[in-house]
Structure 1
Amino acid sequence: MTSIVDVSGKPLKADKTLLSEDIAKAYTTSVRNPRPASVASTLNPLRLAGLLRSVVDGNNPEDYMTLAEEMEERDLHYAAQLRTRKLAVAAIAPTVVAASEDKADVEMAERVRAIMDDDQIPELLFDLLDGLGKGLSVVQILWDTKQTPWKPQDYKWVDPRYLRQDNETLQEILLISDDAPSGAPLDPYKFMVHKPRSKSGSVWRNGLARLVAVMYMLKSFTVRDWWAFAEVFGIPVRVGKYGPNASTEDISTPVNAIGRIASDAGAVIPESMKLELIETAKGNGGNTLFENMARWCDEQTSKAVLGQTMTADNGSSQSQANVHNDVRMDIAEWDARQLQSCINEYLVKPYIILNWGPQEHYPKVRIQLPQPEDLKMLVDSITPLIDRGFKVSASSVREKFGLPEPDENEEVLMPTSAILAQTMPAAMNRQRPGLAINRVSKTAEAEMNDLTDEAMSDWEEVAEDFMNPIIELANASDSYETFLEKLPELQETLGADVFVEQMAQYMFQMRGYGDAKDV
Structure 2
Amino acid sequence: MAASVLLDAYGQPIRKAELKQEQGGVTTRGVRQPVGRHQAPGLTPGKLANLLRRSIDGDPEAYLELAEDMEERDLHYAGVLSTRKRQVVGLDISVEAAGDDADSVADADLVREVISRDEFQDELVDVLDAIGKSFSATEIIWDTSEGQWMPGALKWNDPRWFTFDPTDADTLLLRGENGDEPLKPFGWIVHRAKVKSGLTIRGGLARAVAWTYLFKTFTTRDWAIFSEAYGQPMRLGKFGPDASPEEKAILLEAVSSIGTDFAAIVPASMTVEFIQSEVSGSHELYEKRADWLDRQVSKLVLGQTSTTDAQKGSYAVGQVHDGVRQDIEASDARQLAAALNRDLVVPLVMLNRGTRKAYPKIKIGRPDEQDIEKLVDNVVKLVPLGLKVGMSTIRDKIGIPDPGSDDVLLTPQRPAAPSAEEPETKKPAAHAALPSSADAVDRGVQDIIDDAWEPMMAPIVAGLEDELSAAKSEEQAKAIIARRIETMGVTKLAEVLARSAFAARLAGEAGEDL
**Structure 1 71/31 Cα, relative in aligned 2: closer, same or farther at 3 Å?**
same
Q: Which residue of 2 aligns with 1:105?
A: 104
User: 1: CA distance between counterparts of 2:277 and 2:52?
Assistant: 43
Partner of 1:352: 349
How far off its partner does 1:201 sit? 1.2
Q: CA 1:144/1:290 → structure 2, altered by over 3 Å: closer, same or farther?
A: same
Larger radius of gyration: 1
* 1:263 Cα offset (Å): 3.4
Q: CA deviation at 1:91?
A: 1.6
Would you say the 8 A contact 1:81–1:302 is kept in 2? yes
Distance 1:322 1:237, change over 3 A: closer
Q: Within 2, Cα distance between the matches of 1:132 and 1:219?
A: 21
Q: Distance in 1 between matches of 2:249 and 2:293?
A: 48
Deviation digits for residues 384-418 of structure 1 (CA, Å, limit 9, x no counterpart): xxxxxxxxxxxxxxxxxxxxxxxxxxxxxxxxxxx
* Partner of residue 217 from structure 1, selected from 214, 223, 229: 214
Task: Quote the Cα distance in structure 2 between the aligned partners of 1:336 and 1:343.
Answer: 11
Task: Give, in angstroms, the shift of residue 197 of structure 1.
Answer: 0.5
Write out per-residue CA displacement over residues 191-249 of structure 1, whole angstroms, 9 at most, x where no aligned residue: 00001101111111101000110000000111111101111111211111123343444
Q: Which residue of 2 aligns with 1:146?
A: 145
> 1:7 deviation in Å?
5.1
Corresponding residue for residue 49 of structure 1: 49
Partner in structure 1 of residue 479 of structure 2? none
Contact 1:239 1:258 in 2 (8 A): yes
Given that 2:80 and 2:298 are in contact with CA atoms closer than 8 Å, whether structure 1 keeps it comes out as yes
The match for 1:280 is 277
Distance in 1 between the 2:89 and 2:127 partners?
9
Describe the shift of the 1:277–1:370 C-alpha distance in structure 2 as closer, same or farther (beyond 3 A).
Answer: farther
> Which deviates more from structure 2 when the two are superposed, residues 140-149 or residues 294-303?
140-149
In structure 2, give the amino acid aligned to 1:31.
Answer: V
1:361 paired to 2:362: no
Cα distance in 2 for residues equivalent to 1:12 and 1:170: 23
CA distance in 1, matches of 2:318, 2:42: 42
Q: How far apart, CA to CA, are the structure 2 residues paired with 1:179 and 1:110?
A: 41
Aligned-pair identity in percent equals: 40
Q: Is the 8 A contact 1:4 1:358 kept in 2?
A: no
Query: Counterparts of 1:351-430 in structure 2 under 5 Å?
Result: 351-370=348-367
Q: Which amino acid in structure 2 is aligned with residue 29 of structure 1? A: R
Q: Which amino acid aligns with 2:301?
A: V
Gaps of 5+ in 2: 371-514
Aligned residue for 2:257, secondary structure, equals helix
| Equivalent position of 1:63 in the other structure | 62
Distance 2:89 2:11 in 1: 36
Using a 3 Å threshold, how does the CA distance of structure 1 residues 235 and 321 change in structure 2: closer, same or farther? closer
What CA RMSD, in Å, does the superposition of the two structures yield over aligned residues?
A: 2.4
Q: How many Å apart are 1:21 and its aligned residue?
A: 3.0
Aligned position for 1:24? 24
1:75 match: 74
What does residue 185 of structure 1 align with?
182
Deviations 1:277-305 (A, max 9, x none): 112123422x1111111111101111110
Does structure 1 residue 12 correspond to structure 2 residue 23? no
In the other structure, the counterpart of 1:517 is none
How far apart are 1:11 and its partner, in Å?
8.3
Alpha-carbon separation, structure 2, partners of 1:240 and 1:11: 80
Aligned 1:151-162 pairs, distance under 5 A: 151-162=150-161
Deviations 1:91-143 (A, max 9, x none): 22411011112222112111111111111210221111100000001100000
Alpha-carbon distance in 1 for matches of 2:9, 2:296: 46
- CA–CA separation in structure 1 for the residues paired with 2:342 and 2:65: 28
Length-normalised TM-score, structure 1: 0.67
Whether 2:108 is the aligned partner of 1:115: answer no
The question of whether the paired residues in 2 share the 8 Å contact of 1:4 and 1:353 is answered with no
| CA distance in structure 2 between the aligned counterparts of 1:86 and 1:341, rounded to whole angstroms | 16
Asked whether the 8 Å contact 1:138–1:158 carries over to 2, the reply is: yes
- Structure 2 counterpart SS, 1:174: strand
Q: CA deviation at 1:319?
A: 5.1
Identify which of 304, 311, 327 aligns with 2:307. 311
The 10-residue stretch of structure 1 (297-306 or 19-28) with the greater mean CA deviation from structure 2: 19-28
Three-state SS of the structure 2 residue aligned to 1:40 is coil
Matched letter for residue 32 of structure 1: R
* Contact 1:3/1:357, CA 8 A, preserved across alignment: no
> Is 1:270 matched with 2:267?
yes
Matched residues in 1 for 2:12 and 2:195: separation? 36
Deviations 1:426-447 (A, max 9, x none): xxxxxxxxxxxxxxxxxxxxxx
- Structure 1 distance, partners of 2:10, 2:213, is 47
Q: Does 1:255 align with 2:252?
A: yes
- 2:450 paired residue number: none
**Counterpart of 1:323 in 2: which secondary structure?**
helix
TM-score by length of 2: 0.67
* CA distance 1:53–1:238, change in 2 (3 Å): same
Q: Note the C-alpha offset of 1:54.
A: 1.1
Matched, 1:297 2:298: no
| Distance across 2 between alignment mates of 1:245 and 1:91 | 76
1:515 aligned residue: none
| CA distance, structure 2, for counterparts of residue 150 and residue 8 of structure 1 | 18
> Does the aligned pair in 2 maintain the 1:322–1:330 contact within 8 Å?
no
Matches within 5 A, 1:80-99: 80-99=79-98
Q: Deviations over 1:5-53 (max 9, x none)?
A: 325997834333x323332111463210112111111211111111111
**Aligned-partner Cα distance in 1 for 2:293–2:132:** 17
Q: Is the 8 A contact 1:133 1:208 kept in 2?
A: yes
* CA offset digits 1:145-182 (Å, max 9, x no partner): 222221101110011001111111111100011022xx
Cα 1:168–1:271 change in 2 (3 A) is: same
CA contact (8 A) 1:238 1:276 kept: yes
Equivalent of residue 330 in structure 2, options 324, 333, 336: 333
Query: Is the CA contact (8 Å cut-off) linking 1:254 and 1:269 kept in structure 2?
Result: yes
Runs of 5+ unmatched residues, structure 1: 374-519
Aligned amino acid, residue 100 of structure 1 = G
Letter in 1 for 2:306: M
Residues 80 and 32 from structure 1, CA distance in 2 versus in 1: closer, same or farther, beyond 3 angstroms? same
Task: Tell me, in whole angstroms, the C-alpha distance in 2 between the residues paired with 1:289 and 1:281.
Answer: 17
TM superposition shift of 1:251? 3.2
Q: CA deviation at 1:372?
A: 8.7
3-state DSSP class of the match of 2:281?
helix
**Separation in structure 2 between the aligned mates of residue 23 and residue 352 of structure 1, nearest angstrom:** 22
SS in 2 for 1:153: strand
* Alignment partner, residue 40 of structure 2: 40
Query: Aligned partners of 2:73 and 2:240: how far apart in 1?
Result: 51
